Amino acid sequence: MNKDFRKSTVYQIYPKSFYDTNKDGLGDLRGVIEKLDYIKELGVDYIWLTPFFVSPQNDNGYDVEDYYNIDPRYGTMADVEELIDEAGKRGMGLMFDMVFNHVSTNHEWFKKAMQGDSYYKDFFYFRKGKPDGSAPTNWVSKFGGSAWEYVEKFDEYYLHLFDVTQADLNWENENVRREVQNIVKFWMNKGVKGFRFDVINLISKAGFEDDTDGDGRKFYTDGPKIHQYLKELNSMSFGKDPQIVTVGEMSSTTMENCYQYAGRDTGELSMVFNFHHLKVDFMGNEKWVLVPADFQKLKDIIFDWQVKMGEHNAWNAVFWCNHDQPRVVSRFGDEGKNWKESAKMLATIVHCLRGTPYVYQGEEIGMTNTDFTDIHQFRDVESLNNYQILLDKGMSASDALRIIQVHSRDNGRTPMQWDNTKYAGFTSEDSEVKPWIGVNSNHTKINAEDQLKDKDSIFHYYRKLIAMRKYLDVIAYGDIEPLDEKNSSVFAYRRIYEGHEMIVVANFYGKDFEWKHTPSLEGFEKLLGNYDETEITAEGSMILKPYEAVVYYR
C-alpha cells in the first residue's frame, strides 16, 4: 500500500457507536469489518479507530489498561488481524489511536506503583503536597477539579491532567519511552499503517509550580522536551517505515511548535490536529457557555494556519468533526430546511483546503447533534462533571442542560444511522439490549441506506470531494490564498499549483448573498457545487443562494 497522505482522506470510526453485530448494545470490531465496503465506497484511504484496547471505559477507552490486548467488548485479536487484512485488500490502511500521555489506574504499571514498586512509581508523577498538605500545584484537570489525587499510603499525590483514573506518564523516564516505542512497533508488525497520538503535546512537563494566572496548562503544553521525545519516538519506531502516516492531537498548541511537529523534514509527525478553529463558539477558552459562533474569527484562524503552515512546509489535518466535537451541521450549518445544502457547503470548505481531510462517522450523511431532553441520557464524563459544576455555580437545571445539549461530546457519539429501523440499524431491531447511548430520532430521515440510493445525497457529494483530491494536484499540493477575508458572509479562497488554479466559494449563511468581490472566472469551469446553477450577474457579481458552495478550476 503506497499512499501519499497529502492526496489521502481519513475516515474516523468510534467503534462503540459504529455497528453492533452481537446485540449487546455496543459497536464492535466485527461491525467495522462488515461495513468495510461502505467505507470503501466513500473512497477514503485510511480508517482511524478510536481506542478499543482493554479499558475500564471511564473515558470511553482513552483510559488504557493494556495496549497489547483487545477489550472483549469490542472483539478479539483475531478480529483486529482480520480487519487489518480485509481493509488492506480494499486498499485502505488502519490508523490506531495511541494514548501515551496517561494510562488507566488499572494498568499493571500503575498497580505496581501503588504497591510501592519504586521502578514503576517512577513511571508516574508522584509528588509531595505543599507544607499545608494541599496538592503540589493548583493545576486544574481538563475534566474539572484538581489535577492531583492524594494517596494516603505514600502521603503523596499523583498527577492526572484528565480523569482521576487516568494517571499521567512520566516521559522523563527513559523506561517509559522505551515501553511506548515497543507498543508502536508491536502494532506496526501487525500491519497497522498509521497512528494518531492522543494529546501528545502534553507529555513534557515544564516543572511543578502554581499557575498564578491560569489553570496550569502553560506548564505542560508544548513542553521543553516535546520535540526531543517525538523525534526519538519517530526514529525508534514508526520512522523506520516511510509508509506509516502519523497525526498528533495537539491540545491548546502554538503554530510555531506545529511547524516542527509536522514539518516536512523535522523528523517528528506527518501532520497535526489543532482545535483553535473549533473554539469560535467558546468565550475565551471557556466551553460551557452559549455564545454565537464568530465567523470572522473562524476564517482568520483557518486562513492563518493554512497560509503559515504552508510557508513553513508543515502539514495540517483538516476537519470539522470527531468523537470530541458536536456535529458540524448543527454547530455551523442548519438542521432545518437547508440541512443538505449546509452540510455540503461545510464539506466543500474543508476538503479543498491544504491538508489531509478527516471525515468522522456520520458526517458524510449529515448526522446532527443529539435530541436528548434529560441529563440522564448523557454518558460523557466531561459533560456530566460540567453539568454539576454549572449547577454548583447557581445555574438553573434547564440552562445547564441547554449548554450540555449544545457542547457535549455525546453529540458525536450517538449511534451511526444506517437505516430507518428501530435502532437506526446500529443494532438489530429484535435486540433485547438497547444501544449504550440513545439513537437520534431523526434517523428515519437521515440514514446511510437512503443516501446511498440518492445520487444528490450528502454521501455522494463527499465521494466527489474525496475523489477530486486524488486526481487534482492543486488540492493536494497547491498554495492557498484567502479571498475577501473580511467578508461577513463568504468563505472563499484560491488554490494555486504549477499553472493550475482553483477557486472555492461558500456562502456561510442561510440567506441569499450578492458577492460583489468575485474574482474573474474567465477560463474557469465549474467542477462542483451544491446547487445546479450558480448565478453570475452582468456586472460579474455572484448571487449565492443559502449555504451555496461552488468550486471552479482552470
Task: Tell me if 157 is assigned to some domain.
Answer: yes
Strands 126-127 and 156-159, by their bridges, are antiparallel
Show contacts of 170-175: CB within 8 Å, 24+ apart.
170/122, 170/123, 170/124, 170/125, 171/203, 171/204, 171/225, 171/229, 172/205, 172/225, 173/122, 173/123, 175/119, 175/122, 175/123
Domain end among 428, 462, 496: 462
Question: Which CATH number belongs to the domain containing residue 330 in this structure?
Answer: 3.20.20.80
Task: Tell me if 267 is assigned to some domain.
Answer: yes
- pLDDT on residue 1: 64
Residues 17 and 27 in one domain: yes
Task: Tell me if 148 is assigned to some domain.
Answer: yes
Residues 446 and 401 in one domain: no
List, in order, residues 6 or more apart from 73 with CB less than 8 Å away: 24, 26, 28, 57
Amino acid in the structure at residue 36:
L
Residues 371 and 382 in one domain: no
- pLDDT on residue 284: 87
Task: Tell me if 543 is assigned to some domain.
Answer: yes
- pLDDT on residue 353: 98
Residue of 438, 416, 447, 420 whose CA lies nearest to 20:
416
DSSP state string for 68-85: EEE-TTT--HHHHHHHHH
Residues 370 and 382 in one domain: no
Alpha helical stretches, state H, 293-447: 295-311, 328-331, 339-351, 381-392, 397-407
Q: Which three cell numbers stand for residue 243?
A: 509508509
Residue of 237, 262, 239, 238 whose CA lies nearest to 249:
262
Residues 272 and 149 in one domain: no
Residues 328 and 296 in one domain: yes
Residues 88 and 216 in one domain: yes
Residues 27 and 95 in one domain: yes
Residue of 514, 526, 519 whose CA lies nearest to 490:
514
Residues 240 and 320 in one domain: yes
Question: Which CATH number belongs to the domain containing residue 529 in this structure?
Answer: 2.60.40.1180
User: How far is it, in rounded angstroms, from Cα 147 to Cα 158?
Assistant: 8
Residues 14 and 75 in one domain: yes
- pLDDT on residue 143: 87
- DSSP category for residue 462: H
- pLDDT on residue 275: 92
Buried b (16+ CB within 10 A) or exposed e, 354-375: bbbbbbbbbbbbbbbbbebeeb
Contact 163/59 with Cβ under 8 angstroms?
A: yes
Task: Tell me if 470 is assigned to some domain.
Answer: no
Segments forming the whole domain that contains residue 142: 108-168
Please identify every residue annotated as catalytic. Answer: 198, 249
Amino acid in the structure at residue 299:
K
Q: Which three cell numbers stand for residue 308?
A: 503559515
Number of domains in the chain: 4
Task: Tell me if 2 is assigned to some domain.
Answer: no
User: How far is it, in rounded angstroms, from Cα 335 to Cα 342?
Assistant: 8
Handedness of CA 507, 513, 517, 521 (dihedral sign): positive
Residues 254 and 392 in one domain: no
* Residue ranges in the chain whose pLDDT is less than 70: 1
Residues 348 and 495 in one domain: no
Decide: helix, strand or coil at residue 316: strand
Question: Which CATH number belongs to the domain containing residue 145 in this structure?
Answer: 3.90.400.10
Task: Tell me if 4 is assigned to some domain.
Answer: no
pTM: 0.96
Task: Tell me if 472 is assigned to some domain.
Answer: no
